[in-house]
């Protein structure tokens, strides 16, 4: 579904909880949000989170926002509130080798589906961030910049991001030469230098051109940018 259900409208000043309130008024309750972390990283897992927030004051999370706009400390605080207050929440980890096997787009869709399927409460409606996802077991809506405008998506983004950051910290202890704790597997100058010096680690994603290049499997080419304009490693076919 690419449009809101008939009769449902969202006021521009409705705030981050406006989508859930409007959908509940239309009888679509509970509403789940789902989002991922790590899609653009060339190392480590992909993580998806799904969250259903309760209605009313119980579902108002202090400091809730898109995980990318929060500091690490603020994300941890919001994460604790989300898992404490949520009607239901779930997290799914797709390891690097499965990302390689499926390809990042398919792995991303599969992670989002799995996260919703693991919710202990079945949602009546699902909000996704940016693009539609089929196979969720409920009708849904893709919300542009959803992690900034819909509370349940923002909550899911925080759950996914905090979970993945903790996993990358653990991988940093196993593979300290790559400094995963700092860049979380995304491409930076220091990460590129580590790849050039040490080659790929066992947790790098071999579908990414820069990783294959570091392994001597790909000729030198320029890096590409993601739709937001940030430097990333290009995923190959």
Domains of the chain: 18-170 (3.30.420.10), 174-232 (no CATH)
Q: Which of 114, 198, 152 is nearest to 21 (CA)?
A: 152
Give 55-82 pLDDT, tens digit per residue: 999 999 999 999 999 999 999 999 999 9
Q: Minimal CA–CA distance to 51: which of 9, 22, 23, 84?
A: 84
pTM reported for the whole predicted model: 0.90
Each residue's pLDDT tens digit, 112-121: 999 999 999 9
Residue 76 CB neighbours (<10 A): 15
Q: For the chain, how are helix, strand and coil distributed in percent, rounded to 5?
A: 45, 15, 40
Of residues 9 and 191, more confidently modeled: 191
For 153-180, write each residue's pLDDT tens digit: 999 999 999 999 999 999 999 999 999 9
The Cα 48–Cα 225 span in angstroms is: 23
What distance in Å separates the CA atoms of residue 18 and residue 147, rounded to the nearest whole number? Answer: 13
């Amino acid at each position: 579904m690419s449009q809101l259900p008939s009769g449902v409208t969202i006021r521009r000043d409705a705030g981050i909880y406006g989508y859930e309130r409007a959908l509940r008024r239309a009888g679509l309750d509970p509403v789940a949000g789902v989002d991922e972390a790590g899609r653009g990283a060339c190392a480590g897992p992909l993580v998806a989170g799904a969250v259903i927030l309760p209605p009313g004051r119980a579902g108002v999370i202090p400091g809730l926002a898109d995980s990318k706009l929060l500091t690490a400390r603020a994300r941890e605080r919001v994460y604790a509130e989300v898992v404490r207050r949520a009607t239901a929440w779930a997290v799914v980890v797709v390891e690097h080798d499965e990302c390689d096997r499926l390809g990042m787009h398919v792995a991303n869709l599969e992670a989002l589906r799995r996260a919703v399927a693991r919710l202990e409460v079945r949602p009546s409606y699902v909000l996704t961030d940016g693009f539609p996802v089929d196979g969720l077991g409920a009708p849904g809506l893709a919300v542009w910049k959803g992690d900034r405008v819909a509370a349940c998506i923002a909550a899911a983004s925080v759950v996914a991001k905090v979970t993945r950051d903790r996993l990358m910290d653990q991988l940093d202890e196993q593979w300290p030469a790559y400094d995963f704790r700092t860049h979380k597997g995304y491409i930076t100058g220091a990460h590129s230098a580590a790849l050039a010096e040490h080659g790929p680690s066992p947790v790098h994603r071999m579908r990414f051109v820069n990783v294959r290049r570091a392994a001597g499997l790909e000729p030198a080419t320029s890096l590409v940018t993601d739709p937001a304009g940030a430097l990333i490693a290009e995923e190959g076919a």
